[in-house]
């Protein structure tokens, strides 16, 4: 007989309400943990400028270094030697043109491979050892990858550096969602996916790239803001939900009392937030989950339980579609006509507007419908752009092309907020970041393919990226309708047998005992 949660036991959401609900402490946590999205955006979109194509080149036609001023053909038709003097990209410095033109986009795919690997490892370590130091670690990994990139002597070392940077990016995406999420009450959780300065970071990166042309200097300076993480984040406490799940009740009590003191919670509830209250929550959850504080969950276990397997596969499909569309549009921006700096700044603006726009409908319509609406909106603009590209080609105004592209990205940016919340709220505390991580594996896979789609579009057929992204966008978003709605719901804990793989002692699958939401952690 599976134990039921004692109705007299306080749920952790009630404890947070007793501490003032969403107060000064939660505001500080949001600012401290989401502000590093600015340098994270620098790292993620470095390939847009660092890997851009050559604008200025010359053709040397003899051994004396004489420049042929008459030659007006394509770069790769130069009958002599290409002279690349521009220092603003790796393409210029290492001669990644013509037969080597694939290298730049391939390195971007290596960065995305790092995102795939980082998503797995950072999330599992976080569920085993805590949110706080993993958050600091992934920020340090981004800074290391960006700094090493600025010192790379050749494309191989640069690719290795981008791999580390990508691993940090994906780890940060998961931790910047899960870590603050566990301090929030249900009605305020959507802020995490809607108010982060990711778009503002992209705009600032465009401004920085405009004034700092040498690519090595650009990468070095863009790594410096991570100093903020080292200075500020150590003062943010560990997630109290994680501490309770691990049976570290005394530490959880200290965190909760700190929240209450900062928020100036109602004094007549102060004596209710005691060791006994939190210990009861911890014990109830341990009894409900049927596991001790040292229970370890592996990624294989996500596919043993039928309900968990279905949920995981659906979320993986959603993140694959979102990633391939979002990063595909982003990395295709360098192929658009017009001013590259302005295009990237407008790309950041589309993110800066898209994320807060999710606030308007995320709670009212729910995570699933919001996801479908935003992804479909993006697809509409992309289909329109593909049709105009087929009809008018290079006759289209570059500004209008950029407008349609960035309008499509606005929709995909809004969808990220709904996808983050749907994922974070769909898994119980003990495996929440692992759930986010395994869902993010396909985001890494999508990211690997997205630069190649952009590359082949530039090489073969201009509308190819837009058609591909539109189809994937709609198809992926519809998967969300097969998941249960999570908006406004209490965060869940796993039921008896989940840690053991969702099986009965005798090996049979117990469908009735697999997954139950409660008011606990």
> What is the per-residue pLDDT for 488?
63
pLDDT at 173 over 90: no
C-alpha–C-alpha distance, residues 164 and 336, integer Å: 28
> What is the per-residue pLDDT for 17?
77
Residues 213-240 have a mean pLDDT of 90
pLDDT at 3 over 80: no
Query: Which range, 45-49, 101-105, 383-387, is most confident?
Result: 45-49
C-alpha–C-alpha distance, residues 128 and 69, integer Å: 64
Give the chain's length: 521
Tokens of 490: 């209490």
C-alpha–C-alpha distance, residues 466 and 458, integer Å: 11
β-bridge mates for residue 58, sequence order: 83
Contacts of 172 (CB under 8 A, 6+ apart): 36, 40, 135, 138, 139, 142
Residues 135-150 have a mean pLDDT of 94
Residue holding tokens 């935003």?
A: 374
pLDDT at 133 over 70: yes
> What is the per-residue pLDDT for 373?
85
- What is the DSSP secondary-structure string of 212-278? --SHHHHHHHHHGGGHHHHHHGGGSPPPHHHHHHTT-HHHHHHHHHHHHHHHT--GGGGGGSSHHHH
In this predicted model, what pLDDT tens digit does every residue of 108-119 receive, in sequence order? Answer: 888 888 988 887
In this predicted model, what pLDDT tens digit does every residue of 463-508 receive, in sequence order? Answer: 667 777 777 877 877 888 888 777 666 655 554 444 444 443 333 3
What DSSP state is assigned to residue 497? T
Residues 352-368 have a mean pLDDT of 79
pLDDT at 443 over 50: yes
3-state secondary structure 456-482: HHHHCCCCHHHHHHHHHHHHHHHHHHH
pLDDT at 348 over 80: yes
pLDDT at 511 over 60: no
| 23-52+99-236+295-482: CATH superfamily | MFS general substrate transporter like domains (1.20.1250.20)
More confident residue, 241 or 189: 241
pTM confidence score: 0.75
- Classify the C-alpha dihedral 143-146-152-154 as positive or negative: positive
> What is the per-residue pLDDT for 11?
72
Q: How far is CA 516 from each of CA 39, 162, 398, rounded to the nearest angstrom?
A: 39, 41, 53
Residues 293-322 have a mean pLDDT of 78
- Classify the C-alpha dihedral 331-337-342-347 as positive or negative: negative
pLDDT at 71 over 60: no
More confident residue, 57 or 173: 173
Q: In degrees rounded to 5, what are phi and psi of residue 81?
A: -115, 135
Contacts of 519 (CB under 8 A, 6+ apart): 5, 11, 12, 13, 14, 490
Residues 345-350 have a mean pLDDT of 86
| Per-chain mean pLDDT for the chain | 76
How many CB atoms within 10 Å of residue 296? 11
- What are the structural domain ranges in the chain? 23-52+99-236+295-482
Q: State whether residue 503 is helix, strand or coil.
A: strand
**Using 50, 70 and 90 to split pLDDT, how confident is the model at 455?**
low
Output the CA torsion 406→410→412→415 (10° steps). 180
> What is the per-residue pLDDT for 442?
80
> What is the per-residue pLDDT for 1?
41
> What is the per-residue pLDDT for 415?
84
Q: State whether residue 60 is helix, strand or coil.
A: strand
pLDDT at 512 over 90: no
* Cβ proximity of 91 and 104 under 8 Å: yes
> What is the per-residue pLDDT for 200?
92
pLDDT at 69 over 70: no
Residues 126-152 have a mean pLDDT of 91
């Amino acid at each position: 007989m599976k134990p039921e949660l004692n109705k007299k036991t306080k749920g952790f959401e009630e404890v947070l309400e007793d501490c003032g609900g969403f107060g000064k402490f939660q505001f500080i946590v949001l600012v401290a943990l989401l502000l590093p999205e600015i340098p994270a955006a620098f790292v993620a979109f470095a390939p847009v400028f660092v890997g851009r194509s050559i604008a200025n080149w010359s053709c040397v036609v003899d051994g004396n270094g004489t420049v042929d001023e008459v030659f007006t053909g394509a770069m790769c038709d130069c009958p002599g030697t290409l002279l690349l003097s521009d220092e603003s990209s790796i393409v210029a410095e290492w001669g990644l043109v013509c037969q080597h033109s694939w290298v730049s986009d391939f390195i971007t795919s290596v960065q995305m491979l790092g995102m795939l690997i980082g998503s797995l490892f950072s999330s599992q370590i976080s569920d085993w050892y805590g949110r706080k130091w993993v958050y600091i670690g992934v920020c340090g990994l981004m800074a290391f990858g960006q700094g090493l990139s600025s010192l790379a002597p050749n494309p191989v070392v640069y690719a290795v550096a981008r791999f580390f940077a990508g691993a940090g990016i994906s780890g940060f995406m998961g931790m910047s969602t899960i870590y603050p999420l566990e301090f929030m009450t249900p009605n305020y959780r959507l802020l995490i996916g809607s108010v982060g300065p990711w778009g503002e970071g992209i705009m600032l990166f465009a401004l920085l790239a405009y004034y700092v042309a040498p690519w090595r200097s650009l990468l070095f300076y863009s790594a410096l803001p991570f100093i903020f993480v080292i200075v500020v984040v150590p003062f943010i406490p560990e997630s109290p939900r994680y501490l309770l799940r691990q049976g570290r009740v005394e530490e959880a009590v200290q965190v909760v009392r700190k929240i209450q003191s900062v928020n100036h919670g109602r004094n007549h509830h102060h004596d209710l937030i005691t060791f006994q209250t939190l210990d009861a929550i911890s014990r109830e959850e341990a009894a409900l989950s049927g596991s001790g504080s040292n229970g370890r969950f592996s990624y294989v276990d996500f596919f043993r339980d039928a309900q968990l397997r279905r949920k995981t596969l659906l979320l993986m499909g959603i993140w694959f579609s979102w990633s391939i569309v979002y990063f595909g549009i982003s990395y295709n921006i360098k192929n658009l006509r017009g001013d590259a700096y302005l295009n990237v700044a407008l790309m950041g603006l589309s993110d800066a507007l898209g994320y807060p726009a999710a606030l308007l409908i995320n709670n009212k319509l729910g995570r699933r419908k919001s996801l479908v609406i935003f992804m479909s909106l993006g697809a509409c603009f992309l289909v329109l752009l593909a049709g105009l590209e087929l009809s008018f080609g290079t006759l289209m105004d570059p500004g209008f092309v950029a407008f349609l592209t960035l309008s499509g990205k606005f929709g995909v940016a809004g969808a990220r907020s709904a996808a983050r919340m749907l994922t974070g709220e769909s898994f119980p505390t003990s495996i929440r970041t692992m759930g986010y991580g395994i869902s993010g594996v396909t985001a890494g896979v999508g990211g690997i393919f997205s630069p190649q789609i952009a590359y082949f579009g530039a090489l073969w057929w201009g509308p190819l990226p837009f058609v591909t992204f539109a189809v994937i966008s709609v198809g992926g978003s519809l998967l969300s309708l097969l998941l249960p709605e999570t908006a406004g719901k209490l965060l869940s804990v796993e039921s008896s047998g989940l840690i053991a793989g969702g099986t009965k002692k005798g090996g049979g699958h117990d469908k009735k005992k697999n997954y139950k939401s409660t008011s606990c952690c």
